[in-house]
Structure 1
């Protein structure tokens, strides 16, 4: 179980992490987030991950918007995850990781705030691949009444 965070600033820009696969050297962009620890709620995991990966000290509860079951290859391993996605509105800030794991520290290259149209137009690798379109719909329509399952929509 993992939590993925759509951290949106006051101009609806989304914070993404630029990562590099240590084995292949391929680079990609992905949202803040990570594993949910035993006994931790989704919201507690979100706050912890936001702090560890970006230095954000306070995170108000997020709104569940998507879920996804996903299998991917990274660092020579096959990883299967279930993701619960939350959207959070945060003041714009400059990310400064507070407690990245050694694994994260060797793969994180940097951060960038992206507009939905930039994500739709980029030729860079972004996960999930349809993130620009998904974010555009979320900003246009608002949060769904129940989280939308992206498993078959945004396969990569």
Structure 2
């Protein structure tokens, strides 16, 4: 059974998306806040916990369920099958200060950055998922889908 996860689109008042910069398998990449859903947690509860642990932000406003996808990735030499639920959360701009990182996160996280969609579309940096800039541009232009849509990458 795939690992159940939540991915967060934390957007500030200027439509900037918060991403984590980390070193994985010898290379660096940027990716959204998020992680595993613990047994008994709702999506919103998992989102609030992950946001606090990874960024220190308390009192995460309720999010809107926008996307989902099934995905396989490799990390530390292991293969993982995951089911991702993506939530959009509007937040006030803040400076991330992780509160409770896992040992792996503490080893690999380098910094954070707030990105404009157009910056994500044009950067040469590695972004996960790879077309996040285009996806974010579409979301900001067309609005939140009526029901969560499957991401095809």
TM-score (structure 1 length as normaliser): 0.95
Deviation at 1:77, TM superposition (A): 1.0
Q: List aligned pairs for 1:3-152, cutoff 5 A.
A: 3-21=6-24, 24-150=25-151
TM-score (structure 2 length as normaliser): 0.97
Alignment partners' CA distance in 2, 1:98 and 1:72: 26
Alignment partners' CA distance in 1, 2:83 and 2:124: 26
Deviation at 1:134, TM superposition (A): 0.2
- List structure 1 runs of 4+ shifted beyond 6 angstroms: none
CA-to-aligned-CA distance 1:105-125 (integer Å, 9 cap, x gap): 111111000000000000111
| SS of residue paired to 2:98 | coil
Alignment partners' CA distance in 1, 2:81 and 2:20: 20
Alignment root-mean-square deviation, CA: 0.6
| SS of residue paired to 2:97 | coil
* Unmatched 5+ stretches in structure 2: none
